[in-house]
Chains A and B, each alone.
Chain A
């Protein structure tokens, strides 16, 4: 069964450093999403991406965040200058042309020291 994959599973970085989280969505999907979950809190929407542009973003997704689909398979989330409060699980999701159902990856645990 096709699935969303994410790398790395765990990323440790120093405050102020740039990180790139990578996702490989399900191959024929067209809509892509990033969510995050701070430890003990709710899963929060960050951004959705379609047709090579951002279609919706939350207040959390400020200028420090960017997304890109650099090739036909990868979907990345970049945080330019990480802060301690960026420590969280980051989940990528994708949905197909019907768009109704989002399928999530296993997540990347980001730890900012």
Chain B
């Protein structure tokens, strides 16, 4: 799986948009970009994923650059409950043997702190 690079920490004011960047310059054509978050040692929570196009759901928006070498997760109106570690993960759809969908390889992520 391609390696990702994220800033170790970011701050955001409550009610403002949080923009979390991720670099994945070695991404290959069939790899998806996934975002998960983990709130204080709870299970990782799926946020959003994309391949080429920008994506939006009820939690966030994902902006992927045209060359796919970087992406940005946008939380449009951050709340205190959005304080968490955010992981950007690049993942192939299947493992090498084609018998399972690929594992998730977590890095250190970005610690997002939302301030009142």
- CA distance in complex: A96, B87 (Å): 21
Interface string of A3-45 (1 = CB under 8 A from B): 0100000000000000000000000000101010100001111
| Interface-lining segment among B37-45, B59-67, B68-76 | B37-45
> What number of B residues sit within 8 Å (CB to CB) of A?
24
- CA distance in complex: A51, B97 (Å): 14
Contacting pair B106 A56 (CB below 8 A): no
Contacting pair B44 A91 (CB below 8 A): yes
Interface string of B75-116 (1 = CB under 8 A from A): 000000000000100000111010111011111100000000
Contacts of A107 in B (CB 8 A): 41-43
Contacts of B104 in A (CB 8 A): 35, 43, 45, 93, 102
Contacts of A106 in B (CB 8 A): 42-43
Main secondary structure on B side of the interface with A: loop
A99-B42 in contact given A42-B107, A43-B106 (Cβ < 8 Å)? no
Contacting pair B44 A43 (CB below 8 A): yes
Contacts of B46 in A (CB 8 A): 101-104
Contacting pair B41 A50 (CB below 8 A): no
Contacting pair B49 A44 (CB below 8 A): no
- Chain A nearest CB, measured from B110 CB (Å): 13
Contacts of A31 in B (CB 8 A): 100-101
Contacts of A99 in B (CB 8 A): 93-94, 100-101
- CA distance in complex: A68, B45 (Å): 24
Which residues 82-109 of A sit at the B interface, judged by CB distance below 8 A?
89, 91, 93, 95, 99-107
A73 at the interface (CB under 8 A from B): no
A64 at the interface (CB under 8 A from B): no
Contacting pair A89 B41 (CB below 8 A): yes
12 contacts between A and B (CB under 8 A): A43-B38, A48-B100, A48-B103, A50-B100, A55-B97, A55-B99, A55-B100, A56-B97, A93-B104, A101-B46, A105-B43, A107-B42
Chain B residues close to A by CB (< 8 Å): 32, 34, 38, 41-46, 49, 87, 93-95, 97, 99-101, 103-108
